[in-house]
Structure 1
Amino acid sequence: MATPHEILKKVFGYDSFRKGQLELIEAIGSGRDAIGVMPTGAGKSLCYQIPAIMAGGLSVVVSPLISLMKDQVDALRENGVSAATINSAMDWEDAAEVFRAARNGKIRLLYVAPERLEGGFGDFLREAAPKLVIVDEAHCVSHWGHDFRPSYLNIAPVMDSLPARPPVAAFTATATPEVRADIIEQLGLRDPFSLTTGFDRENLFFHVERPDDKNAAMMRYVGQFPHASGIIYCSTRKTVEEVCERLRKKGVKAVRYHAGLSDAERARNQEEFIHDRAPVMVATNAFGMGIDKSNVRYVLHYNMPQNLDAYYQEAGRAGRDGLPSDCLLFYGARDVVTAKFFISQSPEDTRAAANKKLRAMIDYCHTSGCLRAFILNYFGEHDVPEKCTACGNCTENTERAEITTEALKILSCVYRMSEASGGKHYGISMLVDVLRGSQRAEVLAPGFDKISTYGLLKDRSAREVREMTDFLIAEGYLQVGGEFPTLSFTPRTMQFFKNPTPLVMRVSESDKAKAERIKKRTREISASASEGLFEELRVLRRAIAAENGVPPYVVFSDKTLAAICETMPEDEDDFLEIPGVGAAKLERYGEAFLAVVREWKHRA
């Protein structure tokens, strides 16, 4: 029987495993249940595909989306592995053919949706006796996860009903410790091998901006990536429509995706994006879970998501191939209002937890510390550097301003308002109005116009006062609590009053500095490759993909094309050494790509 290393090289075209992959492969191969938490792009799929190949027989992969299953099946077939899917978009004859092939031992990996486990599919599993069952996007089984799918709760009962329960392996990219524990419980994993490789995506650059004009800022940003694929996330369907139309009017080939569109249009637009015919996808969070498109170079959040779980999952769709990519979040006060409205429409027993997660999201937008460290701390990683070289807060051209005096005025006002009202606490809006000397009846009625801090920041805009207050919350000098969020002191507040050490807050950098920083990162993507040759290889890849009916990145990733440009392979032996080139792809595509390289060298 082939070893994991032999399969890795021969089938998938890689020389070495990434962090955690071999440990999970060996644990699953030994018959243990397992849970793997690995960031997007870290190679989760190989952790169960290799054990499935080694095990022989049939392995079943439970996956949430048809598009994800199709991508995985296409990629496996391109690598010479027998794989298939059963989904609701198939007609009866095609589904029956897949079942026959699976019963006859001709399929190694069968992908199904969790809803498929209901009804007669359980009978098929009892007959087929799968060697391994894999649960992808496993956070969907948890009520604490951001993509809870009730149908995932069917998995454990079906597994327990099989005559011989196979090993069950669960995988997800983002899961807090609470979600990880819930996955183990809900799936009934038995003494699972558990491995979390870390959540850091080193190739992603994170930054937050608070633009006065989001549309102008968006056009500048998208303009920095003229030939690259990007996703723009919006919080509402209406915003998706407006943003997509604005891009189109400026000549950008953009498509849209939200739940209000017909199934046919959503499918068509997704195909346009995945096949590189439309470089920009504008979407709500209905788009993206499980999308394997590896060459997304940037993700822009036009609106702030409700929590960091969703944000990191969505931002992580950039740079799956490991090349430098960009993640920008636009933050505005209206985003908070929209998020709170959506939370208010959710079940009452979930609102407290949702508001806590929203507070962490707001804190992320306002922290002056390292954005990468903030995200990693949120997911339970605390032994991380306080500063990185790949986030907006840690780069040298980030501008900062000292707000120590303003902070004392804000904190003093919180105290005076509570004192004047007999110990009551108030929210940020009331605080801002008092500090700016508002004449609103709600301010005058409690006598706040008589306290010493009334109007102390009347020379600052409401947005500036709110941003400084949010910064104090993010840094732990104020806390928010209650059903109607109100402000109160923390232990750190009194320490600051006694010894007011300088407080420095990040402020928006100039448009020129932003543009230069983005240009620098986009240059890094192709720095090691000849851009002309890279483009010729992309054209060939696109033609091959169209001929075979698969997305271009399934043929070869951008990273593989860059390696071809870097090494300039002379023959098939050289080509086989390129990362991502296995035996099947060498046979199918090797000569065509080598011909382009030879012609390029001849012209040079």
Structure 2
Amino acid sequence: MSVDVNSLQKTSLQVLKQSFGYDSFRDGQWEAISAVLDGQDTLVLMPTGGGKSLCYQVPAIVMEGLTLVVSPLISLMQDQVQQLSEQGVSAAYLNSSLTQDEEQAIYKRLGNHEIRLLYVAPEKLLRGYFLQHISEFPIKLIAIDEAHCVSHWGHDFRQDYRALGQLKKTFPSAPMIALTATADTATQADIIHQLNMQAPFVFKGGFDRPNIRYNLLSKYKGFDQVVSFVEQQGGNGGIVYCGSRAKVDDLTLKLQQAGVPCDGYHAGKSTEEREAVQNRFLRDQLQVVVATVAFGMGINKSNVRFVVHHDVPRSVESFYQETGRAGRDGMPAEALLLYDERDAARIKKWIADGATSDRFEIEMHKFDAMQAFAESQTCRRQVLLNYFSDYLGKACGNCDICQDPPKMFDATRQAQMVLSCIYRLQADTATQYVIDVLRGKSIRKILDNKHDELSTYAIGKSESDNYWHNIIQQLIHQGLAYIDMTRNGVLRLNESARAVLKGEKPIEMALPRLSVNSAKKNKYVPSNIDKQLFAKLKQLRKQIADENNLPAFVIFSDASLADMTTKLPTSNDDFMRVNGVGETKLERYGSAFINLIGDYLAAKA
């Protein structure tokens, strides 16, 4: 048996290098591949960008026959097939985007055994006539991508996914591999149950994405904060998530007015408009896509350098999944969350108003965990990983808390000023009005209500609006005040505020942090990249991509370009040693990059 295993491993490593350009497997990849090749059902949990796809793509090439890949989105299938084709792997997809002639051509290729991987959506796969037709082909492996969609415990429950368990009855001899980046313990068990997996091998990779730096800011004038953050990114591409279509449209306009090449994406736009935005983003013609969460799961773009959440997500899983769309190539990336207690209160009200009885506790529990992450004053990564039971023993050193720790101060006086103002306004005003009174603004409503005659009027005029907004958020975090969504979001006092107002309880707070400290760099930035050569390689990649009507990252990832600046290949053999360079890419693009590097070195000599 050991000889067979060694032989399979050797063959798999050859496929890994020849087709995908890597010399060795990452942690967990060979274990999962070995289980699949041994005919065992397999569940793989790996972080986004951790190499999940290779766990079924390598076996699909090693094994004789057809691998059926169930994928949730048309765009994701198209990206995967496009990238596999660039790597010299025979793959195709069947979905509603194809004409009848195109679909028939794929069936002909299937009949000729010319396709190794066939991507299909669950809605199409489970139609009786299609399932019967596809069963005529030699199905050797079934891969379920984004497997958390199977589970009613998951954050992205999808009804058609839950019926995929019948595939085990239709193809009893084909092993099944399910793959996801986000699944807590309950979701993992439910995936196995729903898919009828038989004693599966389970690989739980670490959830850590060390290349992503996590940042969180108290949201005040959120649109302006996003514009400022994007302007710091030096032209790098990213995604900004908003909680509503209206916010997407407003922020898109504001970024465009600031000179940022961007566009919006949400369900209110036509299919053609959404596809155009996605394609322009994939081809680096847009720096930023501003979107609702409808955008992104199908984006296989490896060079997204930042993700911003203008509004707090409804679960840690969603936050993790969405931030994971940055830095898929392993290069440095940034994540920014803007957090406002008012947003949190609205979401809780939406959950209470909209969730069914069997979903209420699940959704509220998940959002409570998200809120706890946002309000934590300890290492962001530790809190995030602990949620997935992937405990990190020490602070990460690559988040805002680690790099710029909160500076604590005695805030008893500031707390008394705010709480007293709320009390004197008779708990009938929202946050901004309280701030307006504290700062002594001469606005019509304050004057009409004679609130300029209150003792708290203008006592906080020496500090800014956003300073007081942050102080109020911290008072809410500490349970001294709360936002009453049943009364249009007014600020109210908790009983615990009484002791503070009487001077019986001191209050400590963090100095308000209102912008990302751009002086603090992502500690994951490689130190040995030749930036001048890297820029020239990116320019050449863009030129080749445009000539071939392909996204630039499909030619080579940023990580491959960075490796070129380190290894400086000037021959075919040297070029094959670059990570991400396989035989097909050497043949298609090697000479152009080798010549550029040779010319660059000659000019420097």
| Residue correspondence of structure 1 range 359-398 to structure 2 within 5 A | 359-381=368-390, 383-395=391-403, 397-398=404-405
Partner of 1:283: 291
**Is residue 570 from structure 1 mapped to residue 570 from structure 2 by the alignment?**
yes
Say if 1:434 and 1:148 are closer, same or farther in 2 by CA, change over 3 A.
farther
CA distance in 1, matches of 2:52, 2:170: 27
**Aligned residue-pair number:** 554
Matching residue's letter, 2:213: F
Q: Distance in 2 between matches of 1:434 and 1:501?
A: 15
Structure 1 residues 158 and 25, CA gap change in structure 2 (3 angstroms): closer
Give, in angstroms, the shift of residue 237 of structure 1.
0.4
Shift of 1:149: 1.1
Residue 487 of structure 1 and its aligned partner are, at CA, apart by: 11
Query: Which amino acid in 1 is paired with 2:120?
Result: V
Instruction: Pick from 514, 518, 523 the counterpart of residue 515 of structure 1.
Output: 518
What do residues 372-404 of structure 1 show as CA deviations (whole Å, max 9, x unaligned)? 0111111122x3124120111111x33321458
Confirm or deny: 8 A CA contact 2:314 2:367 kept in the other structure.
yes
Q: Which moved more, 1:151-160 or 1:362-371?
A: 151-160
8 A contact 2:415–2:471 mirrored in 1:
no
1:422 corresponds to: none
Kindly indicate whether the alpha-carbon contact (under 8 Å) linking 1:402 and 1:502 is maintained by their aligned counterparts in 2.
no
User: Which letter maps to 2:79?
Assistant: D
> Is 1:209 the counterpart of 2:209 in the alignment?
no
Deviation at 1:121, TM superposition (A): 1.5
Equivalent in the alignment of 1:332: 340
Question: Would the alpha carbon gap of residues 600 and 503 (structure 1) be closer, same or farther in structure 2, given more than 3 Å must change?
Answer: farther
Please tell me whether residue 356 in structure 1 is matched to residue 342 in structure 2: no
Match of residue 400 from structure 1: 407
Instruction: Name the aligned partner's letter for residue 199 of structure 1.
Output: F
1:440 corresponds in structure 2 to 426
| TM superposition shift of 1:530 | 2.2
Return the offset for 1:255: 1.4
Aligned to 1:234: 242
Are 1:271 and 2:279 an aligned pair? Answer: yes
Q: How far does residue 541 in structure 1 lie from its aligned partner after superposition?
A: 1.3
1:97-147 deviation per Cα after TM superposition (whole angstroms, max 9, x unaligned): 112211221100000011112222211232113100000000001112111
- Contact 2:398–2:522 (CA<8 Å) still a contact in 1? no
Is the CA contact 2:220–2:469 (under 8 Å) kept in the aligned structure 1?
no
1:467 alignment counterpart: 473
Question: Gapped runs of 5+ residues in structure 1?
Answer: 411-431, 444-454, 491-499
| Residue in 2 that maps onto 1:545 | 545
Q: 1:103 to 1:221 in 2, by over 3 A?
A: same
Please say if 1:303 is aligned against 2:306. no
Return the alpha-carbon distance in structure 2 between the equivalents of residues 547 and 464 of structure 1: 50
Of 81, 93, 106, the match for 2:101:
93
Q: Does 1:151 align with 2:160?
A: yes
Q: Find out whether 1:59 has 2:67 as its counterpart.
A: yes
Name the CA shift for 1:237/1:478 in 2 (closer, same or farther; >3 Å).
Answer: closer
Larger mean CA deviation between 286-295 and 207-216 belongs to 207-216
Alpha-carbon distance in structure 1 between the residues aligned to 2:295 and 2:511: 32
User: What is the one-letter code of the residue matched to 1:544?
Assistant: I
The aligned amino acid for 1:568 is L
Aligned partner letter, 1:185: H
Of stretches 348-357 and 359-368 in structure 1, the one that deviates more from structure 2 is 348-357
**What amino acid maps onto 2:226 in structure 1?**
M
Aligned AA for 1:579? N
Cα separation, 1, equivalents of 2:505 and 2:185: 34
Which string of whole-angstrom CA distances, capped at 9 and with x for unpartnered residues, describes residues 478-504 of structure 1?
Answer: 999xx99999999xxxxxxxxx99986
1:509 maps to amino acid: R
Q: TM-score, normalized by length of structure 1?
A: 0.85
Alpha carbons of structure 1 residues 375 and 567: separation in structure 2 relative to 1, 3 Å: same
Distance 1:124 1:479, change over 3 A: farther
Question: CA shift at 1:437, angstroms?
Answer: 1.8
- Distance in structure 2 (CA, Å) of the matches to 1:48 and 1:570: 33
Following TM superposition, by how much is the alpha carbon of 1:532 offset from its aligned partner in structure 2, in angstroms?
Answer: 2.4
Distance 2:111 2:416 in 1: 73
- Conserved? CA contact 1:403–1:504, under 8 Å: yes
Identity %: 38
Deviations 1:142-176 (A, max 9, x none): 112111111102211133133x4411100000111
Contact 1:398–1:506 (CA under 8 A) maintained in structure 2: no
**What's 2:500 paired with?**
none
Structure 2 unpaired stretches of 5+ = 1-7, 430-454, 461-466, 497-503
Distance 1:65 1:272 in 2: 18
SS in 2 for 1:521: coil
* Displacement of 1:531: 2.1
